[in-house]
Amino acid sequence: MTQGLESASLAARVDARPPSRSWGMHRHNNHVNMLISLSRRGFGVISRCLVTVHHQKMAAFSVKSLDHVVITAKDIPTTIEFYTKRLGMKHEVFEASGGERHALSFGNQKLNLHQSGKEFEPKAQHVQPGSEDLCFVTDYPIDEVLKNWQLNGIEVLESGKVVERTGAVGKLRSVYCRDPDGNLIEVSNYV
């Protein structure tokens, strides 16, 4: 038993040396990975394990939900028509610094609309019409959404079929199309 403790102690002292790249230490942005040798009953090193030491502070808070997303549109009236007539959103107009603003509301969220080339400040660093990929959830049967889109001449992506996906809280059945600016629009039901 004493020999095992001495070997374990020796292994701990040897492994306590300052690590180097050749010793198995790798630095990454916010953490350090080290290989640590373990010893048992004097039989030498029997295994290695990877220990990650994080040097990252925990957030003082966590977000609860998403309030809005901004869509940059080439033509705001065309965008409003698509989202109100094809997705059932409600158009809202409100005054804010910089002038009249347009939004499309649904549930407890909304899409704020910015006119391309005349965006309100502050704005995203790289604004461009057609760069969004949005997934909306509906209680309306997804097979009926598909039929409605087909009857109204909306090009349905993914071979015009309902597809299986995974969302934030579970499995989805989804259909895809593009809005007038080319943004990818997914409408889904939870399974």
Beta bridge partners of 79: none
The separation between CA 31 and the C-alpha centre of its own chain, rounded to angstroms, equals 22
* 186 is annotated as an active-site residue: yes
Q: Cα–Cα distance between 69 and 113 in angstroms, integer?
A: 9
Tokens of 158: 């993914």
Cβ neighbors of 77 (< 8 A, separation 6 or more) are none
Q: Cα–Cα distance between 105 and 82 in angstroms, integer?
A: 13
Tokens of 7: 């070997």
Q: Cα–Cα distance between 151 and 130 in angstroms, integer?
A: 24
Cβ neighbors of 127 (< 8 A, separation 6 or more) are 72, 114, 116, 119
- Tokens 């039901």 locate to 189
- Considering 6, 81, 121, 186, which one is annotated as catalytic? 186
List residues with catalytic annotation: 186
